[in-house]
Structure 1
């Protein structure tokens, strides 16, 4: 009990310290911009950013654009997760497939995503499918390679036990391989969630009539720094919430299934 109490005090002190540092940093920016040390064209006072966030929500401007961005992200991300995990499993469980397709996958990973986006505009236009494809590209390779790494780390002893109990191929995958690879796979899902949201914004900034990326382009084109930082703050919060949701999925759902 004493150990738990000490741990709670330490974690509480850590959170207080983090909040204090954040407030100190924001206070410095507020002072620097108000005193003209930093031009308001480059940075905006945090208080103005907060007011702009409230205005965006109060006027309802943020909701339809946020919905569009989330729709693009979720479609592309879920497709990438399914394809990435499936591809990773296939390549490891079929050694000849990994030997054959592995170099091609590595070559595709090395291709800069930015160079493909203009081609995607030619192939898919500037609609929803274009943004979904961009999110897919930003997420797929991270998930696939993390799955490959995680599956390869499955302990040989666990596989031997499965063979001793005459587990089927499907049972071995579901009850041994996937639970063993889960931490690495979820690490890839977390990283790709953040990059996927950035991909959706990037696609909207290049060519779109809706979405947070388009809203950000409009704000920067009008040199509305406060609004630009307000949108960036909202995107950051959304990204943190998505990653927290993935963490919750891992802890509350997957780990329970793994233990069972």
Structure 2
């Protein structure tokens, strides 16, 4: 009997992918392609700006942006301002997640509560959250508290609606079966409702990551002398395009790191669930 090779499976009815045969090699090659694509885009940007395909005053150069990042690191701006934005985004994200998940679960579990309070939630949700920033600054001052509360408010609604939808979509038949087997309400929640809602909750968390940064940065841009939002405002006020892009690059790195942490947590908590890639 001959040994089967990976290529033999590519034309089978199951359509076994290369990612399933050799996931490490597939992941490595995927990252190599991503890095090459990024390098090509940056090279095209650099060449186009220097060839005057577009005005470099407004687009800057990738080399100038990385030089601005190096200057920020040498001057201590990164150490001084990045932790402020990180604190505002992380604390606001955690507070908004806990509050939104709790309230969303209550609304999803108790249908009468949802029917009673739904118009009020929708009315508050319809308000542009950025428009609340001046009010929060008026109430809580220009310190870190106003940015945390604004971030938590934005994250709250995203997590709330996803949690609510996840709990409502949980199988009622399965809950009834578990109850017939003698399970009490806490066990039904722990074994059926919560696992069923986790996928929707993590969707809300991943969507909330950039909005958490939006809340922190918008608050800093409106009234603050610290944070990445302040760096962005200062750079644009000085017509420093490279500095502005450097501040945006910092936000991209923070957002990507947050998202990677959420994905890793999702894979760990949902390891029992087969994920279709």
Q: Same fold (TM over 0.5)?
A: yes
- Verify the 8 A CA contact 1:202 1:213 in the aligned structure 2: yes
Deviations along 1:6-29, one digit per CA (max 9) or x if unpaired, are 334665554444333322221121
Q: 1:124 maps to what in 2? A: 140
Structure 1 match to 2:186? 170
| 1:129-144 map, 5 Å | 129-144=145-160
Q: Distance in 2 between matches of 1:6 and 1:187?
A: 27
Asked if the contact 1:113/1:137 (under 8 Å) is kept, the reply is: yes
Give the count of matched residue pairs. Answer: 258
Q: Secondary structure at the match of 1:126?
A: coil
Single out whichever of 231-240 and 114-123 deviates more from structure 2.
114-123
Q: CA deviation at 1:5?
A: 8.4
1:99 Cα shift?
0.3
Maintained 8 Å contact 1:158/1:176: yes
Q: Secondary structure at the match of 2:57?
A: coil
Structure 2 matches for 1:238-257, cutoff 5 A? 238-252=254-268, 254-255=269-270
8 Å contact from structure 1 (residues 175, 258) kept in 2: no
Once residues 17 and 98 of structure 2 are traced to their aligned partners in structure 1, the CA distance between those partners, rounded to angstroms, is 42
Alignment match, 1:18:
34
> Which structure carries more relative contact order (alpha carbon 8 Å, separation 6+)?
1
* 1:68 equivalent in alignment to 2:84: yes
Aligned partner of residue 54 in structure 2, secondary structure: coil
TM-score (norm 1): 0.92
Q: 4+ runs of 1 displaced by more than 4 Å?
A: 8-14, 256-259
| d(CA) in 2 for partners of 1:81, 1:95 | 21
Which consecutive unaligned segments of at least 5 residues does structure 2 have? 10-15
Q: How does 1:30-179 map to 2 (within 5 A)?
A: 30-179=46-195
Secondary structure of 1:215's counterpart equals helix
Structure with the bigger percentage of helix: 1
Secondary structure in structure 2 of the residue aligned to 1:36: coil
Report the RMSD for the aligned CA atoms in angstroms.
Answer: 2.1
Contact map agreement 2:69 2:243 (CA 8 A) in 1: yes
Structure 1: which 5+ residue stretches go unaligned? none
Q: Deviations over 1:89-127 (max 9, x none)?
A: 111211111001011111111111122221112111111
* Residue pairs, 1:202-217, within 5 angstroms: 202-217=218-233
TM-score by length of 2: 0.86
Rg comparison, structure with higher value: 2
